[in-house]
């Protein structure tokens, strides 16, 4: 981390959308299984290039499943601290509950619950921690995870088509053994570590999540109606306002590398909540454990590759370490730039 990096969080906010308009909202109803439909594909490609962010409506995920997932999430976080801390994550096993996360070595004002596929996950060789006696929670979360992964694959195909590649060009790096995971985010008004002398923590948590990019290919995020998510573009922070029934999509570091910088892994953050608690659920769509990421040869381009090969599992483990505690600077794709 260097000083220029820290200063990003001090940039002004373009609250009115006066300067650049706002993150596009795209109807993907026409995006079929092969994801070739022209109109959404070109809008998605444009959004990935200009913002690294867009929202999708008409996405096909059952509203009843969404409502049930939100209800289970709220009930989970409403439990007493000691019950949540019974499934606290550790350095070795990142799955479970956490309330002391660092982004770029600054503490975030939030609490989270992370889970991935069932069984032993191949990145950390660890398995999910579930709250005991909560079968309905687990079942609902699994269904939501599967629905998010399905939507992610459709979007991945649209992003490939938008680069002029066959839509299924990257399928092999994800299907069926992607290493994606779900995070339940609760951004409370009251700092979850306030008055906790028993847990070592940094005193200040002045943002919900400090600025960062997501490590994987793409993220499918469900946010409630509170707002606070912002994306950085051209020297300003821009709000990503809640749109009823929409998912927020952003591209991650690996998509930036694959696309040789045509698509941006946008820098984003969440403000600290002051008046109302906020909830969100990102699904991070990540490649299979053995994937090696290199810039793809894009039709009509003879640009040399901007990055050296990135071994996904290695990159992911290093990033997670930085989030858990201060084990040195977070790994960034800039370190792989040629
Ligand atoms: C994240 C993130 C945004 C949000 O968890 O990586 O950027 O709106 N979340 O909660
Ligand atoms: Ni993020």
The position carrying tokens 């070795």 is 92
Of all protein residues, whose CA lies closest to atom 5 belonging to ligand 1? 282
**What pLDDT, on the 0 to 100 scale, is given for residue 201?**
87
Domains of the chain: 8-336 (2.60.120.330)
Q: How far is the CA of 312 from the centre of ligand 1 (A)?
A: 21
- DSSP lists the bridge partners of residue 209 as 270
Ligand nearest to the CA of 229: 1
**What pLDDT, on the 0 to 100 scale, is given for residue 133?**
72
Question: What's the distance, Cα to Cα, between the start and end of the chain in Å?
Answer: 19
In whole angstroms, give the CA distance from residue 38 to residue 44. 10
DSSP state of 294: -
- Contact between 249 and 219 under an 8 Å Cβ cutoff? The reply is yes
Beta-strand runs (E) in 272-325: 278-285, 292-293, 310-311
H-assigned helices in the chain: 3-7, 38-50, 63-77, 81-85, 135-162, 253-258, 312-324
In whole angstroms, give the CA distance from residue 84 to residue 81. 5
55 lines ligand 1 (CB under 6 A): no
Give the burial string for 244-271 (b: 16+ CB within 10 Å, else e).
eebbbbbbbbbbbbbbbebbbbbbbbbb
**What pLDDT, on the 0 to 100 scale, is given for residue 3?**
45
Q: How far is the CA of 168 from the centre of ligand 2 (A)?
A: 25
- Contact between 36 and 160 under an 8 Å Cβ cutoff? The reply is no
Q: How far is the CA of 198 from the centre of ligand 2 (A)?
A: 29
Ligand nearest to the CA of 240: 1
Tokens of 338: 């040629």
Q: How far is the CA of 67 from the centre of ligand 2 (A)?
A: 22
- Contact between 178 and 275 under an 8 Å Cβ cutoff? The reply is no
DSSP state of 64: H
Q: How far is the CA of 298 from the centre of ligand 1 (A)?
A: 30
Strands 218-223 and 247-251: antiparallel
In whole angstroms, give the CA distance from residue 245 to residue 223. 9
**What pLDDT, on the 0 to 100 scale, is given for residue 1?**
43
Q: How far is the CA of 119 from the centre of ligand 1 (A)?
A: 25
**What pLDDT, on the 0 to 100 scale, is given for residue 199?**
87
Mean pLDDT by 10 residues, the chain (338 residues): 63 78 92 72 96 97 98 96 95 93 86 96 96 90 97 96 96 94 97 85 87 96 97 94 97 98 96 97 98 96 96 93 72 94
185 lines ligand 1 (CB under 6 A): yes
**What pLDDT, on the 0 to 100 scale, is given for residue 36?**
64
pTM attached to this predicted model: 0.95
Indicate the top mutation candidate among 184, 185, 238 to test ligand 1's pocket, ranked by most ligand atoms within 8 A of CB: 185
Output the CA torsion sign for 79, 108, 261, 294: negative
Ligand 1, atom nearest to 269 Cα: 7
Closest by CA position to 291, among listed 334, 257, 330, 322:
257
Ligand nearest to the CA of 226: 1
Ligand nearest to the CA of 247: 1
214 lines ligand 1 (CB under 6 A): yes
Ligand nearest to the CA of 280: 1
Ligand 1, atom nearest to 208 Cα: 10
Q: How far is the CA of 139 from the centre of ligand 2 (A)?
A: 25
Rg (alpha carbons) of the chain, rounded to whole number:
19
Strands 106-107 and 218-223: unpaired
Tokens of 140: 């609902």
Indicate the top mutation candidate among 228, 246, 282, 283 to test ligand 1's pocket, ranked by most ligand atoms within 8 A of CB: 282
229 lines ligand 1 (CB under 6 A): yes
């Amino acid at each position: 981390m260097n000083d220029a990096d820290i200063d990003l969080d001090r940039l002004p906010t373009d609250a009115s959308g006066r300067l650049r308009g706002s993150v596009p909202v795209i109807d993907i109803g026409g995006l079929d299984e092969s994801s070739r439909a022209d109109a959404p594909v070109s809008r998605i490609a444009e959004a990935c290039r200009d913002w690294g962010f867009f929202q999708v409506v008409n996405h096909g995920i059952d509203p009843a499943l969404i409502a049930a997932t939100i209800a289970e999430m709220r009930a989970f976080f409403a439990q007493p601290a000691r019950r949540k801390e019974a499934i606290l994550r550790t350095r070795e096993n990142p799955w479970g509950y956490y309330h002391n996360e660092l982004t770029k070595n600054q503490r975030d004002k939030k609490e989270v619950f992370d889970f991935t596929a069932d069984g032993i996950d191949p990145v950390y060789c660890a398995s999910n921690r579930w709250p005991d006696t909560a079968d309905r929670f687990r079942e609902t979360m699994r269904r939501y995870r599967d629905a998010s992964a399905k939507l992610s694959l459709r979007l991945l195909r649209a992003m490939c088509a938008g680069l002029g590649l066959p839509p299924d060009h990257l399928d092999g790096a994800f299907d069926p053994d992607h290493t994606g995971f779900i995070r339940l985010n609760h951004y409370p008004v009251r700092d979850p570590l306030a008055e906790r002398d028993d847990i070592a923590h940094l005193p200040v948590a002045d943002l919900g999540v400090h600025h960062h990019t997501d490590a994987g290919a793409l993220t499918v995020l469900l946010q409630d109606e509170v707002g606070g998510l912002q994306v950085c573009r051209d020297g300003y922070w821009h709000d990503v306002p809640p749109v009823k029934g929409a998912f927020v999509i952003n591209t991650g570091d690996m998509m930036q590398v694959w696309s040789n910088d045509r698509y941006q892994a946008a820098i984003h953050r969440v403000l600290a909540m002051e008046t109302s608690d906020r909830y969100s659920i990102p699904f991070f769509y990540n490649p299979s454990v053995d994937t090696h990421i290199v810039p793809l040869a894009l039709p009509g381009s003879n640009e040399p590759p901007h990055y050296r090969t990135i071994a996904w599992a290695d990159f992911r483990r290093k990033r997670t370490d930085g989030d858990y505690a201060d084990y040195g600077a977070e790994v960034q794709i800039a370190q792989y730039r040629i």
